Amino acid sequence: MYSIDYSIEHDLCKASQLVNNLEHSLHMAISYAQTSPSDSTHEYRLERLLVGQAVAAVRRLKALRLELSDLQQVELGNLMTIYNLTRFYNKERYAIAIETELCVRMQIAREGLENLISNSAATIDLDAVLMERTILQEMWNAFCEVSQPDPDKQQSVEEIDEQFKRLLPRKSDFRWVPSLRTVYPADDFWWLHHERATVAA
């Protein structure tokens, strides 16, 4: 979560690991699609949902390109070359992996919502739930780039959003560190700019 600190250097290092392992992650996503996700634990799923993290990290660093040093710019350029080539030579697997992870991220977001609704705010890590909603958005955007419009999936995302809007009705300051505000604008990532209603004593 980025509520305390954010480091471009750390993010670039993590993105490098994710991108260099992207081909393997695509293979794992295909294998995952052939299993029964509903039978898997939350931790099991997250260990295998690395495509979305790679997609999110690359977009985040591209949005912060002007904040990177000259050396970091070169590192990002090399990273983008590997990222684009991996996607190009694995087009079909990439499309399947994106759709597979999108569906699982939807389920994880629903589970997070259920936990928020059924438990007190003190016992739930809201930032963790909002991170999942953020990665879900990244996956939805990636899905729209590689697939034909899917009204059913769009409706599912909208239904998840409606529930979040009921839980986060009030506008607030950006929830994460200010340096990431331009990466997650309010129009596209509104949940990072809202808060829960204050409960009257």
- Predicted confidence (pLDDT) per residue in 1-41, tens digit: 555 578 999 999 999 999 999 998 888 777 766 765 555 55
The answer to whether the Cα torsion of 56, 49, 160, 121 is positive or negative is: negative
pLDDT at position 85, please? 96
Whether 200 maps to a domain, the answer reads no
Whether 184 maps to a domain, the answer reads yes
Helix (H) or strand (E) holding 72: helix 70-89
**What is d(CA 78, CA 14) in angstroms, rounded to the nearest whole number?**
14
pLDDT at position 15, please? 96
Q: Provide, rounded to the nearest whole percent, the portion of the chain with pLDDT above 90.
A: 57
The answer to whether the Cα torsion of 148, 182, 136, 72 is positive or negative is: positive
Rounded average pLDDT over 122-128: 74
Whether 125 maps to a domain, the answer reads yes
Degrees, nearest 5: CA angle 63-64-67: 155
CB 54 within 8 A of CB 19: yes
pTM of the shown model: 0.84
**What is d(CA 77, CA 52) in angstroms, rounded to the nearest whole number?**
20
Is 119 or 78 the better-scoring residue by pLDDT? 78
Alpha carbon of residue 95 to chain centroid: 16
Whether 1 maps to a domain, the answer reads no
Q: Provide, rounded to the nearest whole percent, the portion of the chain with pLDDT above 70.
A: 85
Whether 3 maps to a domain, the answer reads no
How many CA atoms lie less than 13 Å away from 22 in the CB half-sphere? 29
Alpha carbon of residue 3 to chain centroid: 16
**What is d(CA 102, CA 49) in angstroms, rounded to the nearest whole number?**
10
Helix (H) or strand (E) holding 194: strand 194-195
Whether 201 maps to a domain, the answer reads no
Residue-number span of the structural domain to which 168 is assigned: 8-195
pLDDT band of 200, cuts 50, 70, 90: very low
pLDDT band of 49, cuts 50, 70, 90: confident
Whether 99 maps to a domain, the answer reads yes
Question: Residue 121 pLDDT > 60, yes or no?
Answer: no
Structure-token match 């390109």, residue found: 65
DSSP secondary structure, 107-163, as one string: HHHHHHHHHHHHS-GGGS-HHHHHHHHHHHHHHHHHHHHHS---HHHHHHHHHHHHH
Mean pLDDT for the chain overall = 86
pLDDT at position 201, please? 43
Whether 134 maps to a domain, the answer reads yes
> For the chain, what is the domain count?
1
